[in-house]
C-alpha cells in the first residue's frame, strides 16, 4: 500500500492485516516505555485544514509512539489563508522529505490530489464528506474486539448521512468485513442513490432498529447544514435520536464523536454499558500506529528501523 486514501484501497485482507498489527501495537501503551523505534528518524507531517483536536492528537501520539518526528501544520494563520494553492503547500512540505503526510481537508479528493505532488505516503484523515479511512479502521477494530467477527452482523448507521465522511468509510469497511449495513436518517440527509453507491439498505424510519446488532449514531453536524435540511433539532431528535428506549438489550452503541448529548443520542445511552464509545477512542492510537507502520516500514522492509516492530 502506497497511500491510504479510502477504505477501498485496502480490501478485506488489507483491513485485517492492519488490525492484526494494531493488536500488537495495542500492548505498547501498557508498557513502561510506551514507544517502539520503528519510525525513528522519519518525519510525519500532520496537515490540517480543519480543526480536529481528537484526530490530530491521535495521529501525533501514534507517530510519537513509533519514535517519528512530528510536525503539525494548521491552516489557521498559515500561508494557506493567504491563498496558497494546495499544490504549492504540498510541494513546500515535501521539501522537508517527510515519510508520511496526514491530511485533513474540507474538499473531497484533496488527499488523492496531494499524492501527485509529494513522494511521501499520504494518509487521508478526512476529505470533505468523502472518506475518513482511519476512523473506519478503528471502528472495525472496536467491533472486531467486542464481537469477535463482523460476519453477518447487522449495523445501523443513523443520522446525517449526507454530510458524513464517517458514514461512507465505516459503511464500506463494515461491508467489506461481511456485515450488513443499513443507513437511516431523514430523506433530506440521505442522498438519493446512496444505497446503490455503497451497497447498503436505506430507511427513513427508526422503528426497525431492533433488527440491528450495532447502532452507530452520527454527529448532527449543524455547522455543515445548508438550507435547513431538517426543520429543527427538536423535530430531528423526536424521530431519530438514539436512546435506550429505542434500543433493545444486547445492542451496542457507537459514535465517532464529539457527541451532542440529547441531539443525536441521549446522554443515558452514551453513559450506559451498551456504549463502545470510549473503546473507539482508545483503539484510535494503535490503529493509526499500524497505518503509519504499514505505509513506511511495511513498504520498505529493508529500512533499518523496520523489522523489529514486535511490541
Residues contributing to the site for another protein (CB under 8 A)? 85-87, 105, 107-110, 112-113, 128-131, 163-165, 168, 191-194, 196-198, 226-227
CB of residue 297 vs another protein: minimum separation in angstroms? 29
Helix (H) or strand (E) holding 263: none
Shortest separation between residue 229's beta carbon and another protein, angstroms:
12
Between vectors from CA 24 to CA 8 and to CA 99, what angle results, nearest 5°?
A: 60
Nearer to another protein, 60 or 139 (CB): 139
CA 132 to chain CA centroid, Å, is: 4
How far CA 230 is from CA of 187, 191, 237, 240, 303, in Å, comes to: 9, 14, 10, 11, 53
C-alpha separations of 267 from 18, 177, 244, 263 in Å? 33, 30, 10, 9
Q: Could you give the 3-state DSSP secondary structure of residue 46?
A: strand
Q: Which is nearer to another protein, 162 or 277 (CB)?
A: 162
- Nearest alpha carbon to residue 216 among 134, 132, 136: 136
Which CB sits closer to another protein, 7 or 66?
7
C-alpha cell at 282: 482508545
Identify which of residues 21 and 105 has a Cβ nearer to another protein in the complex: 105
Give the nearer residue to another protein in terms of CB position, either 127 or 294. 127
Rounded least distance, CB 170 to another protein, Å: 13
Q: Where are the beta strands (DSSP E) in 172-256?
A: 180-184, 201-203, 214-217, 252-254
Residue 78 CB, nearest approach to another protein (Å): 17
Amino acid at each position: 500500500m502506497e497511500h491510504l486514501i479510502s477504505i477501498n484501497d485496502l480490501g478485506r485482507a488489507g483491513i485485517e492485516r492492519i488490525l492484526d498489527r494494531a493488536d500488537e501495537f495495542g500492548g505498547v501503551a501498557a508498557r513502561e516505555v510506551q514507544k517502539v523505534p520503528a519510525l525513528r528518524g522519519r518525519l510525519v507531517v500532520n496537515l490540517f485544514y480543519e480543526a480536529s483536536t481528537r484526530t490530530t492528537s491521535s495521529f501525533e501520539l501514534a507517530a510519537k509512539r513509533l519514535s517519528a518526528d512530528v510536525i503539525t501544520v494548521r491552516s489557521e494563520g498559515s500561508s494557506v489563508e493567504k491563498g496558497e494553492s494546495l499544490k504549492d503547500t504540498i510541494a513546500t512540505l515535501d521539501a522537508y522529505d517527510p515519510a508520511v503526510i496526514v491530511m485533513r481537508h474540507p474538499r473531497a479528493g484533496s488527499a488523492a490530489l496531494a499524492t501527485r505532488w509529494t513522494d511521501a505516503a499520504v494518509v487521508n484523515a478526512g476529505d470533505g464528506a468523502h472518506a475518513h479511512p482511519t476512523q473506519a479502521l478503528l471502528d472495525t477494530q472496536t467491533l472486531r474486539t467486542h464481537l469477535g467477527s463482523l460476519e453477518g452482523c447487522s449495523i445501523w448507521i443513523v443520522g446525517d448521512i449526507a454530510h458524513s465522511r464517517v458514514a461512507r468509510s465505516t459503511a464500506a469497511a463494515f461491508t467489506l468485513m461481511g456485515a450488513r449495513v443499513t443507513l437511516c436518517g431523514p430523506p433530506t440527509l440521505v442522498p438519493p442513490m446512496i444505497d446503490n453507491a455503497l451497497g447498503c439498505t436505506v430507511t427513513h424510519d427508526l422503528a426497525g432498529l431492533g433488527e440491528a446488532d450495532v447502532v452507530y449514531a452520527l454527529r448532527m453536524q449543524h455547522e455543515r447544514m445548508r438550507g435547513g435540511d431538517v426543520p429543527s433539532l427538536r423535530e430531528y431528535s423526536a424521530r431519530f435520536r438514539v436512546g435506550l428506549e429505542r434500543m433493545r438489550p444486547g445492542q451496542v452503541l457507537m459514535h465517532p464523536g464529539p457527541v451532542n448529548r440529547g441531539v443525536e443520542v441521549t446522554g443515558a445511552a452514551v453513559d450506559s454499558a451498551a456504549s463502545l464509545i470510549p473503546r473507539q477512542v482508545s483503539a484510535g492510537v494503535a490503529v493509526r500506529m499500524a497505518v503509519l507502520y504499514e505505509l513506511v516500514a511495511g513498504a520498505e522492509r529493508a529500512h533499518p528501523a523496520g523489522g523489529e516492530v514486535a511490541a
